[in-house]
Amino acid sequence: MIIAIDGPSGAGKSTVAKLLSRELGFEYIDTGAMYRALAYKAYTNNIEIQEDKIDEMLKTTAVDYSDNKIFLDSKNVEGYIRSEAISKGASKISALRNVREKMVELQRKIASNKNVILDGRDIGTKVFPDADFKFFVTASAETRARRRYNQLVRTGARTNYKNVLEDIKKRDEKDSTREISPLVKADDAVLIDTTNMDVREVVKTIADIVGGKNVL
């Protein structure tokens, strides 16, 4: 069974998806982490984010997601991919056609024959258009910026709320207007606005819908 959770950054998708995966006994795949890992490789190797340069990089790059961890060339890079610089790089790299083709293929392969929850931007529209359940989780830009800001501060980053809000708005614009697989709600996805909800409420809402269909 496939559960797709899409939405903009900072809406709480990954926190919700992780908790839900534990509750339902499903595997979890954070597809954003895959794009982030590629951006991290480009960043640390001074590779420009352009189609031809990244094409070369992809030939010698292995990305994998297992046990809730992201692996880049067999190394767990979870601790390196959440900075603001890598967020920007991931937004840029994820707009490249060759990158998307490769990642989508990989995501389908990793999820095959399993019960999985995937979170991302195009899971319900492109990666698994026939997913058993689709959710579009969102919140106001201000709420998402506040959450991201708190998260960055917790990890010791020096930043300010206004910059985070600006970045979120820019990234929303980029992710929603890009040519290939833009961030859009699938027609058949359930919309969940988490602006005034806490994580437990969101998890319960989704679990009730999934469980309510007697599929578990």
As a whole number of angstroms, the distance between CA 196 and CA 140 comes to: 10
Query: Considering beta carbons, is residue 41 or 121 the nearer one to ligand DC?
Result: 121
Query: Considering beta carbons, is residue 68 or 216 the nearer one to ligand DC?
Result: 68
- Residue 204: count of CB within 10 angstroms of its CB: 14
> Using the rule CB under 6 A, is 171 a contact of ligand DC?
yes
- State the nearest-atom distance from the C-beta of 98 to ligand DC, in Å: 14
Instruction: Tell me which amino acid residue 139 is.
Output: A
> Using the rule CB under 6 A, is 43 a contact of ligand DC?
no
* Pairing of the two strands 133-138 and 190-193: parallel
Query: Considering beta carbons, is residue 181 or 213 the nearer one to ligand DC?
Result: 181
Total residues at interface with ligand DC (CB under 6 A): 13
> Using the rule CB under 6 A, is 121 a contact of ligand DC?
yes
- Residue 216: count of CB within 10 angstroms of its CB: 12
Instruction: Tell me which amino acid residue 12 is.
Output: G
| Residue of 127, 139, 142 whose CA lies nearest to 186 | 127
> Using the rule CB under 6 A, is 124 a contact of ligand DC?
no
CA distances from 180 to 95, 152, 162, 168 (A): 7, 29, 29, 20
Burial label, 131 (beta-carbon count in 10 A; 0-12, 13-18, 19+): buried
- State the nearest-atom distance from the C-beta of 16 to ligand DC, in Å: 12
By CB under 6 A, name the one of 4, 21, 24, 32 that touches ligand DC: 32
- What binding mask, one character per residue, do residues 12-31 give for ligand DC by CB under 6 A, x or -? -------------------x
Instruction: Tell me which amino acid residue 4 is.
Output: A
Query: Considering beta carbons, is residue 38 or 210 the nearer one to ligand DC?
Result: 38
Please list the residues that pair with 4 across neighbouring strands. Answer: 118, 134
Query: Considering beta carbons, is residue 154 or 214 the nearer one to ligand DC?
Result: 154
- State the nearest-atom distance from the C-beta of 212 to ligand DC, in Å: 26
101-121 burial: b if 16+ Cβ within 10 Å, else e: ebbbebbeebbeeeebbbbbb
Query: Considering beta carbons, is residue 13 or 212 the nearer one to ligand DC?
Result: 13
By CB under 6 A, name the one of 37, 41, 42, 91 that touches ligand DC: 91
Q: Which positions lie near ligand DC, rule CB under 6 A? A: 9, 31-32, 35-36, 90-91, 94, 120-122, 171, 175
